[in-house]
Amino acid sequence: MNIGIIGSGAWGTAIACVAADNGHNVVMWARESEVVQEINSAHTNERFLKGAQLATLIRATSSMADVGECDVAITATPTQNVRSVLHDLDLNGKIIVNLAKGIEVGTHCRVSEIAAQTLGSGVRYVVLSGPSHAEEVIQRMPTTVVCASTDAESAHVVQEMLSIPSFRVYTSSDVAGVEIGGALKNIIAIAAGIVDGIGLGDNTKAALISRGLAEIARLAIVLGADPKTLYGLAGLGDLFVTCSSRHSRNRSVGERIGRGETLQQITASMSAVAEGVTTTTAALELASSAGVELPITQKVYDILFKSEDPRKAIYDLMTRQARTEN
């Protein structure tokens, strides 16, 4: 197949490698001309994914039209950019695969909803998610993910397209569960990084991950998700790896916050986007409209945007009114 990837960041590059390993031709759209040149001449992408050696089946382009001519289009841009990117595409009923994990600020839309609004309700939409750091995927470390779509045929096409011995793809029909799991785990990962940054221990982090999963599940279920999805790859699996890995950008943001840096200092030093930062605001607004309480997300928001002391935030969470576990 001919596969187009919109975005040349770490995850888009890793998925390009998976597709090429499976024998597909890949064209990657990049905004930066120097990245296009490096991919085409040196077959590397040192700016966004150091150490990746790209197959000759992968080429880069600065023309979005090249992506539109492919059999499948994969969006590998941050959630807040997806709407503008899709406006520039004419997919003519082709499958679109989303790699972003977030909620749009202002509209509170998940990416599936953005795609339906911009491309029409008949869009063949698939979301790919799960515990999968790009740095390990390019080393062919065993990785499992899930692709979800309301169209079983489209999910099966993507499963076959990206399945190789080191990259196992499961299918699901629960788009809402996979999208909410992927979006909110980034917020909990920021909180996990804060716990690391201020030097708290395993007990604290285990409590955070457990209660964070309950928080994610509450919102997802209200939005129509299958509870089982949140205990699978796109829920517990992705939450665990993002909260614990040195590769996690969101956890790293939280750790630096916990050590005393400001959000402005951190974001100014990063070349990639930590989606949990913007998703925090959107998730709180979405949860409010759905009548769902997200206490950990609220405290992450207060720390990031209201300069609340992290230790005070944890104290407030620990001294909330006692209740039964659910």
CB atoms within 10 A of CB 80: 18
Nearest 10 degrees: Cα torsion 150, 155, 157, 160? -170
Name the strands in the sheet holding 2-6, side by side, starting at the edge strand that comes first in the sequence: 58-61, 25-29, 2-6, 72-75, 95-98, 124-129, 143-148, 167-172
Distance CA 117, CA 134 (A): 30
Reduce the DSSP state of residue 30 to 3 states and report it. coil
Token duo for residue 246: 């040195």
Catalytic residue among 94, 101, 185, 299: 185
Nearest to 304 by CA among 273, 242, 258: 258
**Side-chain-facing half-sphere of 183: CA atoms under 13 Å:** 33
Concerning whether 299 is annotated as a catalytic residue, the answer is no
Q: Is 106 left (phi over 0), alpha (psi -120 to 50) or beta?
A: left
Reduce the DSSP state of residue 29 to 3 states and report it. strand
Distance CA 29, CA 49 (A): 15
- Residues annotated as catalytic (active site), given as ranges: 185
